[in-house]
Structure 1
Amino acid sequence: MVEKSGVSSSVCYPVDSLKKGNWVKLICGASFEDVADIRNLSLVYTLAGVDCIDCAADASIVNAVNEGISVAKDIVSLRSPWIMISVNDDVDLHFRKAEFDPSECPPNCSRPCEKVCPADAITLQRVTSDEGLPLEIASSSKLEGGVIRGRCYGCGRCFPVCPYDKIRSNTYVRCPTATAELLKRNNVDAIEIHTSAREINSFEKLWNSLADFVGHLNLVAVSLPDLGESTVDAMNKMYTIMNPFLKCYNLWQLDGRPMSGDIGRGATRDAIAFAARMSSIKDKPHGFLQLAGGTNFHTVGGLKEAGLFQTPNIQEDGNDVHQAERFSGWPYASIGGVAYGGYARKIVGRVLNKMQSEEGPAHIERYPDYLVEALEEALSLVGPVKCYTLS
């Protein structure tokens, strides 16, 4: 299937994909820590030809990604995608977990939090202390379960639907020291810093703690929201901070509508609008531009309608010799590519959930029918960016 779709002949070194505008990144999730799912997702999307797999800055998660990639390469001879770890410089939506005490929930709650969770990260079960009696006539009952911490990636959809306002947000910042240790390993290729871009001092503090460890990386990315007129000014300030230590490519992840790609067509509009504005600005700092936040099956169509899909950027600035060397091969695409997160996990996750419900926790390569089904889903998303021949 991989060879028939054209994956093996279309994949190239990841930076070449950025230059051509057909870069695809899988976002496992900065807070998503289900090792089994991440391993299987990495396997499937490596076969589909993604250029990068972005994951939580945790050694066990990085190991799971590497294992998935290794198994995929045993199945089909492909180049490895870059492995990226995500960190944050301050409070960020991508670095939080939902939490609540199920014993505080009324036993007769309709459990809307369980229904809206896209990650199946909330499980609640009504139990009774009157053993043997039906729930409806038991004298006392309660809810057990709660948030499965490893599966929660902080989308926040459960917060507003709780009728009793019991769900809290637990935010955190990744430890720079632990991140530096990960960067010393030879199986991490890139780092992404999530920032609000409003507190440049926080960004500078984090960067200074990591700068000595980024020399061997292939890519440094910064994920930021649309700040309107102040966006470019913030980007230029961050680039000035990073540039003395940059020996690799850099990328700006334009985070349109975070963690909403699985919602539908409208979710991708903010990302496309952000990209359209940024690609037209001449005084933005060097670096590839990549969409994220609300990206899904409709994103490529939206980019084509906006005239942004794999269109060349002819605005070369020769003032920075080092960047000119990094960006050799001008003109390159105005938009380097697309990162897919929630939607990518959703479409393959349907297959993984079905497999696990029938087989229990399993390695997907041991079940060829499920692997083929999952790969078909992945190719349906990656293929339009890569321009595969999909039947």
Structure 2
Amino acid sequence: MALSLSCCTSLYIHNQVRLSNHVNIKNNLKIVKNLVHSAGVPSIAIPPQESLQKGNWVKLICGASFEDVVDIRNLSLVYTLAGVDCIDCAADASVVSAVNEGIEAAMNIVPIRRPWVMISVNDDEDLHFRKAAFDPLDCPLDCSRPCEAVCPANAIVLNKGDSLEGGVINERCYGCGRCLPVCPYDKINAVTYLRDAVTTAQLVRRNDVDAIEIHTNGRQTDSFEEFWSGMGDSVSNLRLVAISVPDVGKATTTVMNTMFSIMRPNLSCYNLWQLDGRPMSGDIGRGATREVLAFAVHLAATEDRPPGFLQLAGGTNAQTVKGLKEHGLFQTRRNPDDGILTGEISNSCNSLIGGIAYGGYARKIVGRILRSMQSQHGLAYIEDCPAYLSEALREALALVGSVKCYVHPGIHQE
């Protein structure tokens, strides 16, 4: 009897602690809700296609090779609350599910417009589709392990014992390549891969994928045509098709027009051209965004480019909006009659630049908060740690708000 009573008492205390924690979390989430509402996110969060037309579209790039589902879920939750229009992720079923779970969790905190979910694929070898690989047993014990120090994703962990153990955490590696040149023994390799059209088509037919981005090398279109053909009628399920193109000089618009002619017969949704200025470098510094700005200036002034929205990526960071403003391209519309730049906003035509995609930089500013949370709470859901969620949301609101033009005294704007 005493034992039974003791068990009941213990269970009662346990349930009371759980209830108390739930109440504390619920109360602390009010701060998160107030942040979202005071920034004006729900009132500004228009349908994604309208954001493209207005020129204030924002996409979060989780990373075409980044497959850490816990981080991806938490990043998706934070940036959904911040009002992004699209979340771009690896073409992997578990990753897509993690993105959608994060979105749903955010919408349970604040009723907000759902961003589109985009998967990234490639038609040929591409920097975004690779992983670092090496055998830690081949590493000398006295190695200073510079690879571990430079990895922005904390994807390399080496433990010293009788030999070095650990190596690359495959799902965390997104192929930035920073570790390759710093290895003093040249032990690290880049393993590249292709996303096949059949598997991609299966993902696209899911009801929780809205868009696809195809990375292409911009030099020839045979592989693009083969991939597009392999997608078959699955493209009819999409709201948006994006093509990520590098700047290859005068040939850029020629290649873009050829790809558009390939897509056009069965393209039944919006299309977008992602101007990939300096891939995998959004977290390097102030100079990282110059190449994509130059690319945008060039294409915005080009008359023979194919239809479709233009969006910046590759080197985008906190300086990108400032650069667009300096070049007269931020939320600026083209006069359809004379083709010159004009500062007048008109509903009769789209913005010259539809918006901005943030990748490495967006992940970095929130990722350091996720790392701090995990050091204290392990692999936690960020909404269960409202203090960290508030901190992460402030960072995300400042970045997204620079494009969306949020106004809030607690959010730093450039």
TM-score by length of 2: 0.88
Query: 2-side partners of 1:45 and 1:127: how far apart?
Result: 40
Secondary structure in 2 matching 1:332: coil
Measured after TM superposition, the shift of residue 314 of structure 1 is 2.5
SS in 1 for 2:89: strand
In 2: Cα distance, 1:383 partner to 1:390 partner: 9
Over the residues paired in the alignment, what is the CA RMSD in angstroms? 1.1
Give distance in 2, aligned partners of 1:348 and 1:200.
37
Determine what percentage of the aligned residue pairs are the same residue: 66
1:270-313 C-alpha deviation (Å, 9 max, x unpaired):
01110010000011000000000000011101111111100002
Partner of 2:28: none
Please state whether the residue corresponding to 1:188 is helix, strand or coil.
coil
SS of 1:203's equivalent in the other structure is helix
- In structure 2, the residue matched to 1:378 is 396
1:380 CA drift (Å): 1.1
Choose the corresponding residue for 1:307, options 321, 328, 351. 328
For 1:354 and 1:59, locate their aligned partners in 2 and report how far apart those are by CA, in whole Å: 28
Relative distance call for 1:329 and 1:283 in structure 2 (3 A) is same
The equivalences for 1:335-374 within 5 A come to 335-374=353-392
**Residue type matched to 2:146 in 1?**
P
Q: Distance in 2 between matches of 1:300 and 1:111?
A: 37
CA contact (8 A) 2:130 2:175 kept: yes
Deviation track 1:326-356 (CA, whole Å, cap 9, x = no partner) reads xx95311100000000000000001100000
Select which of 13, 37, 41 maps to 1:7.
Answer: 41
Q: Give the partner amino acid of 1:380.
A: A
**1:253 corresponding residue in structure 2:** 274
**CA shift for structure 1 position 369:** 0.4
In 1, Cα distance between equivalents of 2:124 and 2:322: 34
Cα pair 1:22 1:385 within 8 Å, conserved: yes
Contact 1:314 1:332 in 2 (8 A): no
Unpaired segments ≥5 residues, structure 2: 1-34, 339-345, 410-414
Which ranges in structure 1 are unaligned for 5 or more consecutive residues? Answer: 129-141, 318-327
Partner of 1:53: 87
Is 1:290 aligned with 2:311?
Answer: yes
Deviation at 1:316, TM superposition (A): 7.1
Are residues 1:84 and 2:84 paired?
A: no
| Residues 142-161 of structure 1 aligned to structure 2 (within 5 Å) | 142-161=163-182
Task: State how far apart, in whole Å, the 2-side matches of 1:189 and 1:329 are.
Answer: 25
Correspondence 1:388 to 2:406? yes
State the alpha-carbon separation in 2 of the partners of residues 50 and 387 from structure 1.
Answer: 12
The match for 1:103 is 137
Pick the aligned partner of 2:302 from 262, 266, 281: 281
Partners of 2:152 and 2:284 lie apart in 1 by: 9
Alpha-carbon distance in 1 for matches of 2:336, 2:149 = 48
> Per-residue displacement from partner, 1:5-39 (whole Å, max 9, x unpaired)?
01111110000000000000000000000000000
Q: Cα deviation per residue 1:152-194 (whole Å; 9 max; x = unaligned)?
A: 0001011011110000010000121111110111110000000
**SS of 1:271 mapped into structure 2:** helix
Larger radius of gyration: 2
Task: Indicate the residue corresponding to 2:187 in structure 1.
Answer: 166
Deviation at 1:216, TM superposition (A): 2.2
Instruction: Check conservation: 1:254, 1:275, Cα contact below 8 A.
Output: yes
The amino acid across from 2:218 in the alignment is A
Amino acid at match of 1:29: G
Match of 2:140, SS state, is coil
The match for 2:9 is none
Is residue 237 from structure 1 mapped to residue 271 from structure 2 by the alignment?
A: no
SS at match of 1:198: coil
Residues 148 and 154 in structure 2, CA contact (< 8 A), matched pair in contact too: yes
Deviation, 1:211, is: 3.6
Structure 1 residues 211 and 307 mapped into 2: Cα distance closer, same or farther (>3 Å)?
farther
Report the AA paired with residue 379 of structure 1: L
How many angstroms does 1:197 deviate by?
A: 1.8
Tell me, in whole angstroms, the C-alpha distance in 2 between the residues paired with 1:105 and 1:58. 32
Q: Give the equivalent residue in structure 2 for 1:208.
A: 229
Which digits, 9 at most, give the CA deviation of each residue in 1:69-104, with x for residues without a partner? 000000001010000000000100000000000000
CA contact (8 A) 1:383 1:390 kept: no
> Structure 1 segments of 4 or more deviating over 4 A?
none
Alignment-derived partner of residue 96 in structure 2: 62
